[in-house]
Structure 1
């Protein structure tokens, strides 16, 4: 059975969103939710409904040594709020240690050099990297 996934790179200010194709093979950047301007949980709920998705892959930030810091607690708090709002949602947590760094390097390689230009897309690219890591691990 085929299954589409949504991925979230949850930050204090922005949430990067990516989605998989219907076959669950390829991750694509979707959007960046600005938490200062948008009700994030409401927006995620809209995306899940529009895209007919019931599983979310969430990157859990870890230190280089694999331990979890304060940001991981913040991400888990957001996940718990999401689960209260959206019944039957499957959450899959994965280590996102290098996703933003990888996204930043990829954007630099594509000549997205301006800080403002990068900031607009780096979170959704990081979400796509998180999701692609998960999808590749399922093979």
Structure 2
């Protein structure tokens, strides 16, 4: 991997109203693979459990934006999920980054990929969130390899927290830090 990013597992999360997809990378950050689909009400605790089990230091949460880049209600839900995850992880004493990654059209792409692979209709629901999580995480891994920097927008624990780097501009897809 290029740049000064440390080796380690990363997680990818696709937040839906009913279900949340979870994916993880290998230690070298080369490829994302599906983990599971979790009911929304259990998702924050399940992601925190996967962080602990895998030793992940970074969690990429998909941030759904419109094609114009604006954020709607779904983006607000993803931001709320990310903030809840940061709050839960902050109690561990470990510094785990939670980052929001622009994920325009990943769910649409996931449905298309499932359809093209022969899965039809109702069978999509159980795995589409996992496929979308894989797509989100793979996008982040590709950005990391090409830029040497973490992808996405760091979710801050509190405004002015001295342990957090400054938030990136809202329009950027990556932040130049090496945490």
Same fold (TM over 0.5): yes
RMSD: 1.1
Q: In structure 2, the residue corresponding to 1:127 is in which secondary structure? A: helix
8 Å CA contact 2:82, 2:100 repeated in 1: no
> How far has the Cα of 1:123 moved from its partner?
0.3
Structure-1 separation of matches of 2:63 and 2:124: 22
Structure-1 separation of matches of 2:56 and 2:23: 12
Give 1:56's aligned residue: 59
- Specify the structure having the higher radius of gyration (Cα): 2
> How far has the Cα of 1:12 moved from its partner?
1.1
Give 1:101's aligned residue: 108
- 2:97 paired residue among 80, 90, 97: 90
> How far has the Cα of 1:135 moved from its partner?
0.6
Structure-2 separation of matches of 1:105 and 1:53: 29
Which structure carries more helix by proportion? Answer: 1
Q: TM-score, normalised by structure 1?
A: 0.93
Runs of 4+ in 1 over 2 A off after TM superposition: none
Aligned residue pairs: how many?
136
> How far has the Cα of 1:79 moved from its partner?
1.1
Q: In structure 2, the residue corresponding to 1:24 is in which secondary structure? A: coil
Q: TM-score, normalised by structure 2?
A: 0.73
- 1:120 paired residue among 105, 116, 126: 126
- Please list, as runs of the form range in 1=range in 2, the aligned pairs for 1:1-139 lying within 5 A after superposition: 1-36=6-41, 39-87=42-90, 88-113=95-120, 115-139=121-145
Structure-2 separation of matches of 1:49 and 1:72: 26
Q: In structure 2, the residue corresponding to 1:43 is in which secondary structure? A: helix
Runs of 5+ unmatched residues, structure 2: 1-5, 146-179
Runs of 5+ unmatched residues, structure 1: none
Structure-2 separation of matches of 1:130 and 1:44: 15
